[in-house]
Structure 1
Amino acid sequence: MDARPEVKGIKVDADTRCDHYHTDVDIVAIKFYCCQSYYACYSCHEELAGHAALRWPKEKWNEKAILCGKCSRELTILTYMESERCPHCQHPFNARCSYHFPLYFEME
């Protein structure tokens, strides 16, 4: 397996949790479309990136832009959006993260 991508954020732990989201199921980092960098969450990007976030266009949802913090495997946006847990290590994802999809992905 390739080296794990760097995940930027505030107090990011080994499973990609940050100071903002740190429950057992907060294990997903998202590559931001604007800078192609992984951040633990949108708040971390807002605080550290120095630029406005751009959302992933729907036609690019087949690109790998999601990192499972447990197994370090990258997922496509579509796979992530359709999954309740990592398809590789089976660790559950935070179901409430779907409320934040419009911050990361163009929904219309």
Structure 2
Amino acid sequence: MVNVYGDLIDKETRCIHYHSALDIIALKCFACRRYYPCFACHDTYERHTYVPYPMSRSADKVVLCGGCRSELTIAQYLNSAAACPVCSRSFNPGCKAHAAIYFQADSRFE
């Protein structure tokens, strides 16, 4: 079972910051390799700020669908049509607007 940390309000990875019906993903921080529903939850509980995953590691499983608990790669998530490729549950399309927080285009961490 995959653990999700933070201020969760349900089993589908919604948190006190993002809790619409479509907010069902958690993302893994590159520094601590832990899943959090959002960067704000992460920064509350960790001693470091959220570190985005390098896009060069697009095959790494770093997105968790709260609907079916499937771990997705960066590529699977970014190439999805705003829905889980495993269970077809819809994701919040607004999450992709925050992609720069969760995924880093350069390779400064490798």
**In structure 1, what is the equivalent of residue 45 of structure 2?**
48
**Identity across matched positions, percent:** 39
The 8 Å contact of residues 55 and 74 in structure 2, kept in 1 or not, is answered as no
Q: Structure 2: 5+ residue runs without aligned partners?
A: none
**In structure 2, what is the equivalent of residue 6 of structure 1?**
3
Aligned residue for 1:13, secondary structure, equals coil
Task: Quote the RMSD (CA, aligned, Å).
Answer: 1.1
Q: How many residues align?
A: 105
1:106 aligns with 2:104: yes
Aligned residue for 1:65, secondary structure, equals strand
**In structure 2, what is the equivalent of residue 26 of structure 1?**
23
The 8 Å contact of residues 56 and 105 in structure 2, kept in 1 or not, is answered as no
Q: Which runs of 4+ in 1 moved over 6 A?
A: none
Q: Structure 1: 5+ residue runs without aligned partners?
A: none
What TM-score do you get using the length of structure 1 for normalisation? 0.92
Aligned residue for 1:97, secondary structure, equals helix
What TM-score do you get using the length of structure 2 for normalisation? 0.90
1:79 aligns with 2:76: yes
How far does the alpha carbon of each residue in 1:9-59 deviate from its partner, in whole angstroms, 9 at most, with x for none? 113411000000001110000011110000010110111112122211121
1:89 aligns with 2:87: yes
